[in-house]
């Protein structure tokens, strides 16, 4: 039986205008995950919500803690929840 889960990750730091959302999307797709990445209006932050195998989600989080070369991640907050199967792919969304 698979260990499916959902996780919401907020990545803080210099993470907007450095292709962070595209970085997150590419890593998620490589890992077989679904969900989205979007910039947050209220802070210099990117929100990533992803679903899939728990081990792959942990790997995604480790990538998000580093980010693309131009990013400077200062903090990462995660919130785990049950798998919902609400996403069919991984997309980049507009500003929240």
Cα separation, 86 vs 40, whole angstroms: 21
Cα separation, 91 vs 89, whole angstroms: 6
- In this predicted structure, the answer to whether residue 1 has a pLDDT above a threshold of 60 is no
Residue 29 pLDDT class (50, 70, 90 cuts): very high
Q: Which of 51, 39, 38, 47 minimizes the C-alpha distance to 88?
A: 51
Q: Is 75 a catalytic residue?
A: no
Indicate which residue of 21, 25, 27, 38 is catalytic.
21
Indicate which residue of 25, 27, 38, 39 is catalytic.
39
Output 18 or 49, whichever has higher pLDDT. Answer: 49
Cα separation, 72 vs 64, whole angstroms: 11
**49-61 mean pLDDT:** 98
**pTM score:** 0.94
- In this predicted structure, the answer to whether residue 30 has a pLDDT above a threshold of 50 is yes
pLDDT of residue 95: 80
Residue 82 pLDDT class (50, 70, 90 cuts): very high
- What domains can you pick out in the chain, each with its CATH number? 4-87 (3.30.70.100)
């Amino acid at each position: 039986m698979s260990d499916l889960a959902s996780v919401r990750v907020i990545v803080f730091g210099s993470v907007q205008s450095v292709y962070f959302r595209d970085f997150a999307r590419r890593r998620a797709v490589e890992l077989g995950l679904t969900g989205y990445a979007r910039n947050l209006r209220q802070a210099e932050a990117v929100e990533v919500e992803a679903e899939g195998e728990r081990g792959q989600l942990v790997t995604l989080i480790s990538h998000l803690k580093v980010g693309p070369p131009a990013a400077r991640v200062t903090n990462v907050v995660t919130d785990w929840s049950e798998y919902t199967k609400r996403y069919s792919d991984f997309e980049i969304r507009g500003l929240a």
